[in-house]
Amino acid sequence: MDQATVLIVDDEKAIRDILQQALHTRFAVVPAENGTQALSEFEKRSIHLALLDVQMPGMDGIQLLEEIGRRSPDTAVVMISGVNQVDTALESIKKGAFDYITKPFSLNAVLSCIDRALERRRLILENRTYQQNLESQVQERTSALQEALGKIESVYDETIKALGAALDLRDSETEHHCLRVASFVLKLARKLGVNESNRLKDIEWGAFLHDIGKIGVPDAILMKPGKLTEEEREIIRTHPVLGFRMLREIPFLKGAAEVVFSHHESYDGSGYPQGLSGEDIPLSARLFAVADTIDAMTSDRPYRDAQPIEDVGNELKRLAGKQFDPQIVDVFFSIPPAEWNMEVGK
């Protein structure tokens, strides 16, 4: 361990000499006869501890203590005074001094005080280093955790998109439907002011997986070329419930399950499976209803060509308050047609 440097500041040479003689075998001692000379020593070297006389001409010990506190707050300070004044001692301690010694003093008492002051300084510095290292480790581990979570979320994203693509493959008429409707629903959500990343992710994943319940619908019904019977229609209408049951037990898909369960509800209460109306329908599902219609109308189908975005607007306006939330229809119209035209048909 490097030898500690002790600064002795006293206008009496005899006191400086006595202290220097007593300390020089254990410390690197630097004498100074006034405050100005003492402060200049701080420009030359690190001072671990300063012994300051209280009563000195010019800058007194209290003033020098304050200046040291500003320039070198890690320096331990012990005050020495020929006057035993409680007020002065208390003021010194309040301004950062470790202790206060009165003249005439015992050299053993001075050495003991210096040892205690330096030990306290060491503990403070070690604790600061520990805290800094701890904060650094926490920051590093937090960054590593965020990176790991980011990788996990990326895997989740790819998995959800793969599931959405698999659902699209079951219906050749709606290729890439899940990708497009997820893009549209995010556009509407952000325009409406939804900006929480977790909420947006729930809406996006819910859009990708909105028809996942159709996995539980027999292919003979789902892909039937002719008209469905009433019984077959009722079976298909179970897919929101089936999808919800599949997703609700998966922690990271609980929010998405909300969209899956309610994506066939209508604003006027005529939808299914619960017959919810108005704002009882989750916002994510109300956003999805508009996004789904945008994609359905602007995509080519075997029985018709894609329709222009203006026709979509007319349909949304006609069914606002019935199938669609009027507020979200307004959000659709707040986005310029040219911007929609860049999105549809991809």
**Residues 6+ positions from 90 with CB-CB distance below 8 Å:** none
Q: Where are the alpha helices (DSSP H) in 72-176?
A: 86-94, 107-169
Sequence ranges of the domains in the chain: 5-133, 170-343
Going by pLDDT thresholds of 50, 70 and 90, the confidence category of residue 338 is confident
Task: State how far the alpha carbon of 89 is from the alpha carbons of 7, 53, 121, 131, 185, in Å.
Answer: 20, 12, 20, 32, 71
What gap in Å lies between CA 267 and CA 186, rounded to an integer?
A: 20
CB 267 within 8 A of CB 321: yes
Going by pLDDT thresholds of 50, 70 and 90, the confidence category of residue 172 is very low
The per-residue pLDDT for range 252-289, each reduced to its tens digit, is 888 999 999 999 999 999 999 999 999 999 999 999 99
**Choice among 151-155, 172-176, 212-216 with the minimum mean pLDDT:** 172-176
Is residue 136's pLDDT more than 60? yes
Is residue 177's pLDDT more than 90? no
Identify which of 284, 256, 286, 257 has the alpha carbon closest to the alpha carbon of residue 269. Answer: 286
Identify which of 116, 72, 65 has the alpha carbon closest to the alpha carbon of residue 88. Answer: 65
**What whole-number percentage of the chain has pLDDT above 90?**
51
What gap in Å lies between CA 288 and CA 255, rounded to an integer?
A: 14
The answer to whether the Cα torsion of 6, 7, 9, 15 is positive or negative is: positive
Predicted pLDDT of residue 311: 93
- Superfamily for domain range 5-133: Response regulator (3.40.50.2300)
* Architecture of the domain spanning 170-343: Orthogonal Bundle (1.10)
Is residue 306's pLDDT more than 90? no
> What letter represents residue 313's amino acid?
G
**Length of the chain in residues, anyone?**
346
Predicted pLDDT of residue 93: 86
Name all contacts of 295-304 with Cβ < 8 Å and 24+ positions apart: 295/177, 295/180, 295/181, 295/184, 295/344, 298/344, 298/345, 299/174, 299/177, 299/180, 299/344, 299/345, 301/173, 302/173
Segment 167-193 mean pLDDT: 79
What gap in Å lies between CA 144 and CA 140, rounded to an integer?
A: 6
Is residue 173's pLDDT more than 60? no
Predicted pLDDT of residue 153: 66
Segment 20-26 mean pLDDT: 92
Segment 309-315 mean pLDDT: 93
Task: State how far the alpha carbon of 341 is from the alpha carbons of 54, 288, 291, in Å.
Answer: 82, 19, 14
Going by pLDDT thresholds of 50, 70 and 90, the confidence category of residue 128 is confident
Predicted pLDDT of residue 152: 60
Is residue 89's pLDDT more than 60? yes
Annotate 169-187 with DSSP letters as a single string.
Answer: HT-GGGTTHHHHHHHHHHH
DSSP character at residue 34: S
Average confidence score pLDDT of the chain = 87
Give yes or no on whether 5-133 and 170-343 have one common fold.
Answer: no
